[in-house]
């Protein structure tokens, strides 16, 4: 007859054998989730060698809605982006530079660029970080939660947790199309898990990258979780192009 001690040893030894297999499978799942996010980034300007586009930003449903109307020109490379305000006149020439997980602002009259947070509100419901190129693969750790359909399209649903406070949001629930490898919607959350706002994404633009045509975002619609406020960002004049490194030099912003 086997003693309880002998049985206990077998359980422990079995656990020691199984544990590395479990740890490996978890690591593989996390790698797969990160890969899904990385595939979705280029359609929102992230990870591309050189690209430029215009944004028309319009807000509604709040007392300061008219403050949300703005036109911007954005240029980006693999890890950096700079956005310049074209209108209204009072904001013309304002620039937001995102580089190395940092962000700076400059505008006519400032003696030098000032560091800012990507979490600060730019206009309407749009944060500074919403205007920059999306590099979620660099800024967040991803975990695959489940699969479900959005508008009849099969999606991966991912939990994104910010790697640092320099990310635009603490946490994001992210729906990525399994077939098209683009994000269809997102929920932006506080650390506590409280829903702050949501967004949907449309892809009416196409660009050439690495010798192939890929979809590029044409509209991002952001809605508040508690009020009727919403901000619509329309993307146009999307062009893959070589952008000089000096465009992303904080010393050259002025």
Q: What is the pLDDT of residues 107-164, one digit of tens each?
A: 998 889 999 999 999 999 999 999 999 999 999 999 999 999 999 999 999 999 999 9
Is 15 part of a structural domain of the chain? no
The stretch 183-188 carries a mean pLDDT of 98
Domain enclosing residue 86, as ranges = 39-252
Reported as type and span, the H/E element at residue 81 is strand 81-87
Range with lowest mean pLDDT among 106-110, 203-207, 215-219:
106-110
What is this structure's pTM? 0.85
What distances in angstroms separate CA 157 from CA 6, 94, 113, 182, 185, one per listed residue? 44, 36, 38, 12, 10
Distance CA 70, CA 85 (A): 7
In this structure, are residues 108 and 95 in contact, taking their beta carbons and an 8 Å threshold? no
Report how many helices (DSSP H) and strands (DSSP E) the chain contains, helices first: 3, 17
Is 209 part of a structural domain of the chain? yes
Distance CA 229, CA 62 (A): 5
Output the pLDDT for position 64.
59
Distance CA 238, CA 75 (A): 10
Which CATH number covers residue 82?
A: 2.50.20.10
What distances in angstroms separate CA 86 from CA 71, 131, 176, one per listed residue? 5, 14, 32
Residue of 99, 121, 94, 124 lying closest to 109 (CA atoms): 94
Is 8 part of a structural domain of the chain? no
Output the pLDDT for position 24.
46
Residues sharing a CB contact under 8 Å with residue 208, sequence separation 6 or more, in sequence order: 214, 240
Distance CA 47, CA 38 (A): 8
Residues sharing a CB contact under 8 Å with residue 148, sequence separation 6 or more, in sequence order: 154, 155, 157, 175
What domain count does the chain have?
1
CA 253 to chain centre: 24
């Amino acid at each position: 007859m086997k003693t309880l001690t002998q049985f206990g040893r077998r359980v422990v030894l079995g656990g020691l054998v199984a544990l590395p297999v479990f740890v490996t499978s978890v690591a593989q799942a996390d790698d797969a989730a990160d890969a899904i996010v990385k595939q979705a980034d280029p359609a929102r300007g992230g990870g591309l060698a050189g690209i430029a586009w215009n944004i028309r930003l319009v807000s509604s449903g709040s007392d300061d809605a008219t403050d949300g109307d703005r036109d911007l020109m954005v240029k980006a490379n693999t890890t950096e982006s700079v956005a310049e305000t074209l209108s209204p006149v009072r904001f013309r020439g304002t620039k937001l530079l995102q580089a190395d997980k940092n962000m700076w602002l400059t505008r006519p009259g400032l003696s030098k660029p000032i560091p800012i947070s990507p979490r600060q509100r730019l206009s309407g419901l749009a944060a500074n970080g919403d205007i920059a190129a999306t590099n979620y693969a660099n800024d967040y750790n991803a975990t695959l939660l489940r699969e479900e359909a959005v508008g009849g399209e099969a999606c991966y649903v991912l939990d994104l947790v910010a790697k640092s406070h320099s990310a635009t949001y603490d946490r994001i629930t992210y729906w990525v199309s399994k077939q098209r490898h683009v994000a269809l919607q997102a929920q932006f959350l506080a650390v506590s898990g409280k829903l702050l706002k949501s967004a949907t994404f449309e892809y009416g633009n196409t660009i050439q990258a690495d010798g192939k045509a890929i979809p590029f975002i044409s509209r991002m619609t952001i809605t508040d979780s508690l009020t009727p406020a919403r901000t619509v960002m329309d993307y146009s004049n999307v062009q893959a192009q070589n952008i000089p490194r000096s465009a992303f030099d904080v010393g050259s912003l002025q």
